[in-house]
Amino acid sequence: ARAMRHAVVSRGATPVAVRGRRARCAVTRGASMDLGQALGERLRGETRMNLPPGRVGAFGVRETLEYLRDPNAFVATRVAKYGPVFKTGFFFKPAVVFGSRDAVSEFKSFESALPADEALPETFRELHTAYGALRQSGREHKATRANFSKVLGRAALAAYAPVVAEDVRAFVSGKAKEKTMRAGDIKRFALEMLFELFIGHVPDERYIQAMYAYNAGLLSLGKFSAEYKKGKQALEELLAYIESHYRDIKTSGALERDPKYFFLKQYSEAVDENGARFPDDRIATTAVLMVWGSYIEAAALMGHALVLLGDAKNTHALAEVRSEYKATNGGLGIRSLEDVTSAKYTEAVAKESLRVTPQTAGGLRVNPTNRKLAGYDIPAGYTLTADPRIPFKDEALFPDVDAFKPERFISGSAESQRNVVTGDTYFPGGMGQHQCPGISLAVVMTQIFLAEFSAAIDSWTPTSTPTYVQIPIVILADDCVFDLEPATA
């Protein structure tokens, strides 16, 4: 009676194990029916809807965990299987991910009306705070973004560029003497530089480590996790420190007279949607969020561009960057924003690096009502995200898609004519009302870094195959080491 007998009840059906008179279903890995997906569709009321191809599952758990392991591979795999519009699970929520030109263009027509807050993972929402633009919508969000131009617009970049250039030269000089550099050194340098730009100085080690902990907590798996708890504590420490610092320089008069406090001075005059001045705690929170968003984005881009520019296959690109540098101030170094903006090829290197090694997804929005997108039904409650990684890897838009070709972004070049570079195909900082406001600063910082680094260092070679941290942004792992060969006089 204890013997197991097996029978297949019908062609293509799930194998059924029979023990005596009792039977139970044993679904195998190769089963044709995905019970999790079927259950999820029934629970969400989707059985009669024409959704995009793909898989959400019952609660999006499998999809979310796979995404967190390797976001870029996750998207590439699903585009290959389902096409440029597919459904999946993002952070345990049903989502539709898309990147075709038509879908992106259609999305833009209604994106501004979509809320963002509920689309974000709970840990990110909490640590980003209610003052964070990614959580805001409507008038509140519009007022928050109106203040960005004062600290990230051209006038601000002109104020920052000489400071960045001086810091980069000092950093590169030190590494040339050491003849070695870790990717973690680039990340540390970017963080210290952003603290200097946005609060006027580099804080003690305690707050450097707090920013690292804050970054790690943003996309932790839940409030129960150690990463989230450390991130929350780190945020509290950073806010208390910067608010106290802001009050001190305001009381002493340094805020008004010292140009190194440019960022904080601009925010001392910022107003909300009701015309009221930002309180001190909001200014401190804004500084933390801006340092975080800018440093991690700049560090990632610097690392990715350095790997690509140092590749033996890309010596032509490196030669062009060096040629531009020699033509700038007689090779004496970058001194102004004009020096940066005149280096069109180096700018193209930064832009192509963003395309070849995408850092992150597009912004997440909540679809509040049933609608159509790209001919598919999109149920209310789904997350919508225009993902830049889809067009970035589309051969129809960027021929020879895996090749590093900065010429794609040189206006008027033969290569640029073969590529389709528009707002619907190239949006590394996302798009619409929640696009990243700091992408221009990251590009400027990276241009300066690449120019000064390639002038002072003849060659740089990773000691092993570079590895990457995947979340919350794709960035070189800290322990990636480069051997440096300094330039000879």
Closest CA to 362 of 417, 274, 454, 432: 432
Distances (CA, A) of 193 to 205, 211, 225, 457: 14, 13, 30, 21
Looking at residue 438, its pLDDT comes to 82
Looking at residue 6, its pLDDT comes to 33
Mean pLDDT value across residues 10-37: 43
Closest CA to 454 of 333, 313, 297, 301: 333
Q: What are the backbone angles phi and psi of residue 397, rounded to the nearest 5°?
A: -100, -40
Closest CA to 121 of 367, 359, 383: 383
> Which tens digits make up the pLDDT trace of 317-328?
999 999 999 998
Looking at residue 159, its pLDDT comes to 94
CB-based contact 436:297 (threshold 8 Å):
yes
Indicate whether 184 pLDDT > 50. yes
> Which tens digits make up the pLDDT trace of 94-127?
999 999 999 999 999 998 888 776 777 888 889 9
> Which tens digits make up the pLDDT trace of 425-444?
999 988 877 777 788 999 99
DSSP labels for 245-296? HHHHHHHHTHHHH-GGGHHHHHHHT-B-TTSPBPPHHHHHHHHHHHHHHHHH
Looking at residue 248, its pLDDT comes to 98
Mean pLDDT of the chain: 89
Distance from C-alpha of 132 to C-alpha of 122, rounded to nearest angstrom: 14
Reported pTM: 0.87
Indicate whether 18 pLDDT > 60. no
Mean pLDDT value across residues 465-480: 91
Copy the structure tokens of residue 181.
Answer: 């550099």
Distances (CA, A) of 73 to 315, 388, 404, 478: 27, 13, 19, 21
Phi-psi region of 309 (alpha: psi -120 to 50; beta: other; left: phi over 0): alpha
Q: What is the three-class DSSP state of 469?
A: strand
CB-based contact 86:103 (threshold 8 Å):
no
Indicate whether 382 pLDDT > 60. yes
Indicate whether 93 pLDDT > 60. yes
Looking at residue 360, its pLDDT comes to 83
Name which of 32-36, 109-113, 297-301, 332-336 the model is least confident about: 32-36
Looking at residue 489, its pLDDT comes to 64
Looking at residue 33, its pLDDT comes to 62
Copy the structure tokens of residue 372.
Answer: 């159509």
Looking at residue 218, its pLDDT comes to 87
Confidence band of 11 (pLDDT split at 50, 70, 90): very low
